Structures are given as C-alpha cells and as structure tokens.
Amino acid sequence: MSNYWKKLIVDPGSKIRLKDFDPDYHGKHESRKGALPEIEENRQKMQELQYLMYAENKHSLLIVLQGLDAGGKDGVVRHVLTGMNPSGCVSVNFKQPTAEDLDYDFLWRVHPHVPAKGSVAIFNRSHYEDVLVARVHGLVPEKVWSKRYGQINDFEQLISTENNTTILKFFLHISKDEQLARFKKRLDDPARQWKISESDYKEREYWDNYIEAFEDVLTKTSTKHAPWFIIPSNHKWFRNLSISQVIARTMEEMDMQFPKPTVNLGEIRRKYHQAADEEKSGGKKD
C-alpha cells in the first residue's frame, strides 16, 4: 500500500488523535476538475466489479459511513455509490432505535441488514451510533457502552469469517468551521432546507465529546478484517476520490471470477443456429 493510503488507514492497535489528521488534505489534485477523471474511472470499476460479485455469489461487501453532522455521508451514497446496481446493493440508515429495538441487544437491529453473498450493503450511520450518540448523551451507563467495542469487533469478525464479508469503514473527517459553513449553505438553499433541524446547532455544543468518542472508536475497532479509514472531507471531491479508490482497489483484490456455465453451451448454440436457419428459410412453425 502506498504512502498515500497509509495516511488514510488506521493501523490496528494505533492510538488515534484526530488533531493529527488534516481534514483539508487533498492529495495531488487541486480541484474537483483534476480529480473527476479518476473518480469516474473508480466508479466504472466498482460497477463492473459489483456485477462480478453478484455473478460469482461468493463474496459480500459492507461499507460503513460515519462522521459528524454534515460530514457528507449522504453525498458519498449519492455521488460515489450511485453506479452500483440496486438489485445487488442496499443502503441502510440507522437512526434512533425504536421501542422494539430497545427490547433487544444493540446489535439486534443491525444483523438482518448485513449483506448476503453477492451483495453490497452501505450503512449510512451504523452500529457505531451505540458507542457515539449513546456515549455522548449518556443514553446508557459507561459500564454498558464501554463493553460494546469488543462486542462490535466480535460481530464484525463473525460476518467476515462466516459469510466472507469484506468490511470497509470510513470516518468522514471535517473541521468545525467547515461544518458551520455547510449548515449555512443548507439555510440558503431551498433544496436543502428540509435537512435542517434544531439539533444541528445543539449538537455542536458536544463537538469535543464526539471527537473523543470517535477517537476511541477508531483506536479500539480498527482491525485487520474491518479497518477504519480516516477520510479528509473538507473537500467533497477528495472525499469521493478517496473512498471510491479504496472500494475499487479492495474489490479488485478479491480476485473474483465469473462462474462456469451450468448449461451445455454447445447444445444451446446448436439450437440457436437451427432456429436462425429456420427463420431465414421461412420454415419456422407457429
């Protein structure tokens, strides 16, 4: 893996401090115009590889998107993953647990949405909300949420080994100033005003608490089978470039193959040519 990718991946066991990661980083490109050809190339690769995954029906892919409000989770789904075929790809948004959800363990509502063989699942927010929001707002005591890191690691290990699921987790890293600027754009754009809520600004009061919670998530739950990537996301185009590149490269490394035909191709070709000859000679029977 190049030095560029080493800037993004969280090595298992490393202690993360987000102040050491520049959310404004944008690599070799200076603008969206320069990055767009690579983004499009990655999208095309992802589309082709998803078709191959669906055909082979041996692998599955889980993409986890987490970040502070306005980090761009919806934007990633819309701009990066838009080329995937909906028949083999689903996006799930884990919002506030329902009353029924709270009657079970915190992973109960998550497990039914993990991808089946041949499929891709995108978690727009995820099971990590239960060590983020639940922690920051004291929804459960520390003795409860502190055990969840290990339980999450076990859960991800299970689906990785039992169902051949590759897991990619992306933390969309923006600055506090960039978040405020994006809130302002929502206020000024009638097409985005529906996304505004009173909690947007209220949650900013907990910024430092969320940063601390994310640092623990990144430190304690980045594993070899389910790594975290810290994606500098102040520049939306660089966010899209980075995530599309990671996904495309990861899918290429799965070394997937089209399955062999389950029918006799020679016999089917013979019947095709026979039918074509009958059409030409006018001898086709009704």
Sequence-ordered list of residues with C-beta below 8 angstroms from that of 239, at least 6 positions apart, any chain: 72, 75, 76, 172, 231, 232, 233
Burial of 218 per CB tally in 10 Å (0-12, 13-18, 19+): buried
Residues above pLDDT 90, as percent of the chain: 78
**63: enclosing H helix or E strand:** strand 60-67
Q: DSSP string of 163-208?
A: S-EEEEEEEEE--HHHHHHHHHHHHH-TTTGGG--HHHHHHGGGHH
Out of 44-58, 125-139, 190-204, 220-234, pick the least confident: 190-204
Mean pLDDT of 50-72: 96
Residue 111: CB atoms within 10 Å: 12
Q: Does position 2 have pLDDT exceeding 60, yes or no? A: no
Instruction: Measure the CA–CA gap between 281 and 53, rounded to whole angstroms.
Output: 42
Structural domain boundaries in the chain:
3-260
Residue-wise pLDDT for 110-126, tens only, equals 999 999 999 999 999 99
CB contact burial 227-257 (16+ within 10 A = b; e otherwise):
bbbbbbbbbbbbbbbbbbbbbbebbeebebe
pLDDT of residue 1: 37
- Encoded tokens for 206: 């907990």
Residue 166: φ, ψ to 5°: -85, 130
Please report which helix (H) or strand (E) contains residue 61, including its range.
Answer: strand 60-67
Contacts of 226 (CB under 8 A, 6+ apart): 153, 156, 157, 160, 167, 169
The superfamily (CATH) of domain 3-260 is P-loop containing nucleotide triphosphate hydrolases (3.40.50.300)
pTM of the entire predicted model: 0.93
Question: What's the angle, vertex CA 180, arms to CA 131 and CA 4, rounded to 5?
Answer: 65
Sheet holding 89-93, edge to edge: 89-93, 120-124, 60-67, 165-173, 228-232
The answer to whether 214 touches 126, Cβ cutoff 8 Å, is no
What is the residue-averaged pLDDT of the chain? Answer: 93
What pLDDT does 82 receive?
82
Burial of 261 per CB tally in 10 Å (0-12, 13-18, 19+): exposed
Q: What does the pLDDT look like over 181-223, one tens digit per residue?
A: 999 998 898 888 888 887 888 999 999 999 999 999 999 999 9
How many other CB atoms sit within 10 Å of the CB of residue 67?
21
Candidates 175, 227, 211, 213; CA nearest to 70 is 175
Bridge pairing between strands 120-124 and 89-93: parallel
Q: Mean per-residue pLDDT for 224-236?
A: 97
Supply the pLDDT for residue 217.
Answer: 98
Write down the pLDDT at residue 197.
81
Task: Out of 7-11, 26-30, 260-264, 278-282, pick the least confident.
Answer: 278-282
Of residues 18, 7, 72, the one with CA closest to residue 209: 18
Residue 217, SS3 per DSSP: helix
